[in-house]
Structure 1
Amino acid sequence: MNKAPFFWDNYSDQPSVIKDKAYKKAMRKKFIFDYIKMFFSSILVLPFSILIMKLFQGKNELSNKEFIGLGVNLDKDDKNNTQQELIEELGVKNLIIRVPLWDIQNLDSYVEFAKSFNRLSSKNIVLNLMQDRAHIENKELLKKDLELIFSKFSSFVSEYQIGTTINRAKWGFFAVKEYLKFYKVAQDLRDEKFKNLTLIGPSTIDFEYYYNVRAMFNFYNIKYDKLSSLLYVDRRGAPSNTQYGFFDTKNKIDLLYCLCKLSSKTSDKIYITEVNWPLSNTAPYAPTSEKECVSNEEYSKYMIEYIEIAKKSKKIEKVFWHQLIAPGYGLVDNRDGKIVKLPQFYVLKELLNEN
Structure 2
Amino acid sequence: MKQPFAWDHYSDQPAIIRDRALKRQMRKSALPSLIKTFLIALITLPIALLLTPFTGRRAISGEHFFGLGVNLDKEPNTTPYLLNELGVKKLLIRIPLWEMDRLHEYVAFIRSLGGKEITVALLQDREHITSADMSRDHFIQIFEALEGVCTTYIIGSTINRAKWGFFSVYEYLDFYAVAYALKKTRFPHLKLIGSNVIDFEYHFSAHTLFNLSPIRFDAIGSLLYVDRRGAPENSQMGFNLMGKINLLSALISLSPKTSNELIITETNWPIQNTAPYAPTSEHECVSEEDYSDYMVRYHLLAFASQRVSCVYWHQLIAPGYGLIDNREGILRKRSAFEAYKVMLSHLSDAQFIDFNYRSDEYTLSCSTPRGELHITWTLNSSPIYTYKAQA
* Aligned match of 2:336: 344
Q: Distance in 2 between matches of 1:43 and 1:88?
A: 46
1:307 to 276, 299, 306: 299
CA contact (8 A) 1:69 1:93 kept: yes
2:140 to 126, 134, 147: 147
2:281 alignment partner in structure 1: 289
1:123 paired with 2:116, answer yes
Q: How does 1:87-236 map to 2 (within 5 A)?
A: 87-118=83-114, 122-236=115-229
Q: Distance in 2 between matches of 1:300 and 1:170?
A: 29
**How many pairs were matched up?**
347
Counterpart Cα distance in 2 of 1:322 and 1:292: 16
Partner SS state of residue 204, structure 2: helix
Structure 1 unmatched runs, 5+: none
Structure having the higher strand fraction is 2
Runs of 4+ in 1 over 4 A off after TM superposition: none
Q: Using the TM superposition, give the Cα deviation of residue 201 of structure 1 relative to its aligned residue in structure 2, in angstroms.
A: 0.7
CA separation in 1, counterparts of 2:32 and 2:60? 42
Q: Letter of the aligned partner of 1:222 in structure 2? A: I
Identify the residue that residue 49 of structure 1 maps to in structure 2: 48
Q: 1:325 aligns with which of 312, 317, 329?
A: 317
Per-residue CA deviation, residues 309-342 of structure 1 (Å, 9 max, x unaligned), is: 1001110100000000001001000001100000
Kindly indicate whether the alpha-carbon contact (under 8 Å) linking 1:60 and 1:316 is maintained by their aligned counterparts in 2: no
The CA distance in 1 between the partners of 2:155 and 2:59, in whole Å, is 24
Q: CA deviation at 1:234?
A: 4.3
Q: CA deviation at 1:77?
A: 3.3
SS at match of 2:266: coil
TM-aligned CA deviation for residue 154 of structure 1: 2.2
TM-score, scaled relative to structure 1: 0.96
Q: Which runs of 5+ in 2 are unaligned?
A: 348-391
Q: Measure how far apart 1:191 and its partner are.
A: 1.0
Tell me the residue number matched to 2:262.
270
**Given the alignment, which residue of 320, 328, 353 partners 2:345?**
353
Larger RCO of the pair (alpha carbons < 8 Å, separation 6+)? 1
Residue 24 of structure 2 aligns to which amino acid in structure 1? Answer: K
Paired letter, 1:104: M
Q: Distance in 2 between matches of 1:346 and 1:287?
A: 23
> What are the Cα deviations for residues 14-40 of structure 1, in whole angstroms up to 9, with x where unaligned?
000000010011011011000000111
User: How much does 1:235 deviate?
Assistant: 1.6
**Alpha carbon RMSD of aligned pairs, Å?**
0.9
Which residue does 2:3 correspond to in 1? 4
The code of the aligned residue for 2:91 comes to: L
Contact 1:236 1:293 in 2 (8 A): no
| 2:97/2:123 contact within 8 Å kept | yes
Name the % identity. Answer: 49
Q: Which has the higher helix share?
A: 1
Give the distance between the partners of 2:128 and 2:142, measured in 1 at CA: 14
Distance 2:95 2:172 in 1: 17
In 2, Cα distance between equivalents of 1:161 and 1:307: 21
Distance 2:90 2:284 in 1: 28
CA distance in structure 2 between the aligned counterparts of 1:272 and 1:60, rounded to whole angstroms: 17
- Look up the equivalent residue of 1:76 and give its one-letter code: K
Larger radius of gyration, structure 1 or 2? 2
Which amino acid is 1:43 matched to?
A: L
| CA deviation after TM superposition for structure 1 residue 111, in Å | 0.3
Rounded Cα–Cα distance in structure 2 between residues aligned with 1:289 and 1:31: 29
Q: Distance in 2 between matches of 1:60 and 1:159?
A: 21
In structure 2, the residue corresponding to 1:319 is in which secondary structure? strand
Among candidates 45, 61, 64, match of residue 66 of structure 1: 64
Matched, 1:260 2:256: no
- For the residue of structure 2 that corresponds to 1:227, the secondary structure is strand
Q: Secondary structure of the equivalent of 1:126? A: strand
Amino acid of the structure 2 residue aligned with 1:113: F
Residues in 1 aligned to 2:271 and 2:279: alpha-carbon distance in whole angstroms:
9
Q: Conserved in 2, the CA contact under 8 Å of 1:234 and 1:243?
A: no
